[in-house]
């Protein structure tokens, strides 16, 4: 006689057993995104997203998913380009079996364009028959060594924002205790980035001017042209310009070296 299957006590079934990555993904699915789109936002294959539900994977994606969910729920940009740029700052590096960072390098610089459409929502076509593209966002990251050599990959992001009238935000990584302001200061890291990211090497990250359309106070991006003028005054060194701004605005102790810097630029939404 075939034994009867035991039913789990309490309601909810498998939904209650889902891990955090699956739970957050489900909120994005409820918001109208597909698993393929969630994969695109995370920079991963959509099959991995399915494994959040079937194989209990996705622990390294939780922070990125949480940031995206909060951005969507706060009424921020919902387009994939903006959400992908946001998630990129949270996706943890892949680890090998020994627990060390896998030798798979992510992109240190990204640039996105969108198709220009007319008033009727139809794509504008150029003389060559191809859709006309317009800049929409850029992102670049620099670590300790690249910053020491001038962080040249950050400059194109600033140039894009200045040329197209975009906005800029940045995340700074420096030693713990070097920042002179409270981590919950809404004028610096409002909304989803208000929590400081702590690192094992005695450093932490703080974000500035990243209140992209969310509720509450805080700067909604630095003006791209003004930011470029600040960088030009620093001889074109983006990290030096950021460090000067932090010191001048009493955000960090003078002489504190920046060991990590991420610059994000985007076009403001047309309301």
| pLDDT higher than threshold 70 for residue 235 | yes
Is 52 within 8 Å of 25 (Cβ atoms)?
Answer: yes
Q: Using 50, 70 and 90 to split pLDDT, how confident is the model at 244?
A: very high
Q: What angle do CA 209, 214, 220 make, to 5 degrees?
A: 25
Give the three-state DSSP class for 144. Answer: helix
- The pLDDT score that the predictor gives to residue 11 is 42
Q: Taking the CB of residue 270, how many other CB atoms lie within 10 A of it?
A: 4
CB proximity list for 2: less than 8 A, separation 6 or greater = none
- The pLDDT score that the predictor gives to residue 219 is 56
Tens-digit pLDDT profile for residues 107-119: 566 777 777 777 8
- The pLDDT score that the predictor gives to residue 198 is 63
- DSSP label at residue 78: -
Give the residue-averaged pLDDT of 212-241: 78
Tens-digit pLDDT profile for residues 19-57: 899 999 999 999 999 999 999 999 888 888 999 999 888
Average model confidence (pLDDT) for the chain?
78
User: Which run of H or of E encompasses 115?
Assistant: strand 109-115
- DSSP label at residue 219: -
- The pLDDT score that the predictor gives to residue 13 is 42
Cα–Cα distance for residue pair 104/118, rounded to 1 Å? 41
Tens-digit pLDDT profile for residues 61-117: 898 999 899 888 887 778 888 898 888 888 765 555 555 444 444 456 677 777 777
Residue 265, exposed/middle/buried by CB under 10 A (0-12, 13-18, 19+)?
buried
Q: How far is CA 238 from CA 142, 150, 172, 247, in A?
A: 10, 8, 12, 14
């Amino acid at each position: 006689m075939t034994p009867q299957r035991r039913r789990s006590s309490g309601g909810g079934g498998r939904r209650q057993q889902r891990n955090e990555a699956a739970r957050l993904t489900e909120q994005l699915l409820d918001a109208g995104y597909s698993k393929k789109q969630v994969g695109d936002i995370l920079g991963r294959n959509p099959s991995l997203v399915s494994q959040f539900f079937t194989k209990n994977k996705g622990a390294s994606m939780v922070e990125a998913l949480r940031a995206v969910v909060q951005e969507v729920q706060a009424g921020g940009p919902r387009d994939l380009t903006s959400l992908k740029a946001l998630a990129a700052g949270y996706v943890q590096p892949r680890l090998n079996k020994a627990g060390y960072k896998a030798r798979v390098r992510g992109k240190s610089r990204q640039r996105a364009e969108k198709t220009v459409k007319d008033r009727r929502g139809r794509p504008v076509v150029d003389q060559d028959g191809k859709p006309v593209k317009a800049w929409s966002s850029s992102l670049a990251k620099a670590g300790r060594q690249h910053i020491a050599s001038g962080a040249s990959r950050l400059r194109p992001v600033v140039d894009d924002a200045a040329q197209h009238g975009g906005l800029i935000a940045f995340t700074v990584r420096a030693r713990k205790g070097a920042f002179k302001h409270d981590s919950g200061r809404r004028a610096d890291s409002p909304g989803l980035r208000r929590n400081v990211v702590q690192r094992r090497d005695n450093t932490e990250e703080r974000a500035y001017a990243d209140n992209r359309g969310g509720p509450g106070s805080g700067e909604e991006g630095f003006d791209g042209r003004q930011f470029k003028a600040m960088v030009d005054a620093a001889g074109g060194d983006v990290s030096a310009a950021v460090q000067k701004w932090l010191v001048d605005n009493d955000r960090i102790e003078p002489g504190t070296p920046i060991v990590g810097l991420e610059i994000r630029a985007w076009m403001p939404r047309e309301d």
